[in-house]
Amino acid sequence: MSDKPLEGQIAVVTGASRGIGAATAKALATTGAHVIITGRNVKDLEAVEDAIHDAVGTSTIAPLDLTESDSIGRLAHAVAERWDRLDILVISAAMLPTLTPVTQIEQNQFSKAITLNVLATQALLAAFDPLLKRSPQGRIIGLTSSVGAEPRAFWGAYGATKAAFDNLLLAHGQEIGRISETRVAVIDPGATRTAMRARAYPGEDPQTVKPPEAVAERITALLVDGFENLHRERVEISA
């Protein structure tokens, strides 16, 4: 197999300024994809791009806030003008509201989480669907959490958004499964060394959980090897 199995493919990775999104962007670029890296922090995106270029990969920075009403449409338009298609969409961006009992959920935070984790996901699917259908084999991978399928005390706000996230992605996969070559996968990274997990588990030794690169490696392998539509899995890798 070529050491650049994704050569020539165009990928968009959201939440690519750090954590799993950044690691995935780097991994995809290493395998030959041109990666459009999105996030709100320009400095962090530039650091990711520098790492990609140092590894002789290619990328384009697209700083944006997915919660802004027209940002996703602008991004899709820019991709369409430059490449006329999209081969890979990795939806990694997410917000974790403060962990609290359901009766004490802070409405402003909950609203922001719904906007990013749910509404922006639907907007991404809608905006990029035509471009993914122009790819010989468009692929969508969404990063979820186990609390979306298995409710957990104090995680109600985040879990509710991830349950909706899963539902949107898998419903979309069913809708397009017989009319296009686009395939959808939902991946639960499991315990991973990210800033989000550090906020949720402040007393945890980060070295006891796997690094983001382990999840990125699995995502890249799925994209290289291929997966069936509506694929779901949890990444279980020891630290």
The catalytic site residues sit at: 158
Q: How many residues in total does the chain contain?
A: 239
> Tokens 């070529």 sit at which residue?
2
Residues 30, 53 contacting (CB under 8 angstroms): no
**DSSP-H helix ranges across 40-155:** 42-54, 71-82, 107-114, 120-133
Residues 6+ apart with CB under 8 A from 101: 153, 154, 156
User: How far, in whole angstroms, is CA 55 from its chain's centroid?
Assistant: 22
Chain CA centroid to CA 203, Å: 26
Find out whether 210 and 237 touch, Cβ atoms under 8 Å.
yes
Neighbours of 170 (CB within 10 A): 17
Q: Which residues contact 81 (CB under 8 A, 6 or more apart)?
A: none
Bridge-partner residues for 13, per DSSP? 37, 90
The span from the CA of 78 to the CA of 55, in Å, is 25
